[in-house]
Amino acid sequence: MSQQTVTIVGQGYVGLPLAQAASRNGWKVYGLDVTESLVDSLNDGHSHVDDLDDSEIQEMLTSGYSATTDPSVIADSEVVVICVPTPLADGGSPDLGAVKGASRTIGDNLVAGTTVILESTTYPGTTDDLVRPILELNSGLVAGEDFQLAYSPERVDPGSKKFGIKNTPKLMGGINDASTQAAVAFYRTFVDEPIAMKGMREAETAKLLENTFRHVNIALVNEMTKFCKELNIDIWEVIRGASTKPFGFMKFTPGPGVGGHCIPIDPNYLSYEVRNQLGYPFRFVELAQEINNSMPKYVVDRVSEMLNEHRKPLNGSSVLLLGVTYKADIADQRESPAIPVADLLQEKGAHIRFHDPLVDSWKLASGDLVREDDLDKAVEEADAIVVLQAHDAYDLDRIASTARLMLDTRGVAAAPAVRL
């Protein structure tokens, strides 16, 4: 039997690990991307995502993987998977420009018998109402008859040592049963548990429910953090106690806000679709967004309060930010709550610097922020330290013992650090 070919459109944090999984399991993989410099770098054996190192890219290349900007490879592929970004536009509405562009490119090169799968997170109905018409118009083919069409949400957990593509159950729903089974057949070659869904809309909505669930529960514990402080209740002890219940409770912890490619973005897709299709708000999601978006200001207010207790104003004080990525032990800064925290501190007149073992440079709207290379010296000189991300590289107990003042927004450090 000849080797089967898959083209994965988009070689970012979703598409590149997917390409690795497929190439390790017998597929010839084309990584199609519009960024020529990225394609050249991948073909030279260099990784740009946290979860893959250079040696793994080189292993992929020897297994038949190649990155390309040439869309003609689509015509040689049994399967095409769309893994492009779906950010929010400036007004907060979904920006599906990359999905539309990928669909046009695929349609222009699509041949009968191909299976097309969308993995990008989006609102319910996107695959059927947006992707399908573009594919059909540009190819002259009919979805479900001439080619198969399905949706399978990505479930990448960047930086996770426990869960990867192989051992994370994978949902998929097609435009018809044949499309669903075609998607199952593809993913079964490298995923332990492919799960067939009733249809594409159910698969699309399941992904949004997963992340909205997390978003709402983070907002709940963030709101409780605020009023527990006012009532002189230790929220971290409350969470520790509640977590001993072996049923009916799931632990969530407060923080400086939410960040990354999923939690701040995905619930907005669900909220948008409810308003757009039904004409009324998804109040739970919108309230959670409001609460989580308020946390950077709450952090800055706490820093100001701590300094005032020691007769120092925030204006003119030196503040050191530790950990500016959105998640511990990865370098990804997308939507990091450290960004609004830094912006607000600067607005209040604080002199801010940062340290992060995974970030060499950090650019804000106001310009590049000074990175402290000597952590011990920076801790010694700062009027206040704010722990925004608890990377494993940090010995936060030791830092707390030498810092003048330290606010730990992650609840990791021991006294004398002040927890959020």
Catalytic center residues: 262
- Which contiguous run of DSSP H or E holds residue 268? helix 266-278
Residue 415: half-sphere exposure toward Cβ, Cα within 13 Å = 0
Provide the terminal-to-terminal Cα distance of the chain, rounded to the nearest Å: 59
State the Cα–Cα distance between residues 150 and 346, nearest whole angstrom.
47
Q: Which amino acid is at 37?
A: S
Give the long-range contacts of residues 339-343, CB within 8 A, separation 24 or more.
Answer: 339/364, 340/257, 340/296, 340/297, 341/256, 341/257, 341/296, 341/299, 341/300, 341/386, 341/388, 342/369
Q: Give the count of beta carbons closer than 10 Å to the beta carbon of residue 59.
A: 16
Which residues make Cβ contacts (< 8 Å) with residue 10, sequence separation at least 6?
32, 33, 82, 83, 84, 85, 98, 102, 120
Q: Judge whether 420 and 256 are in contact, CB under 8 Å.
A: yes
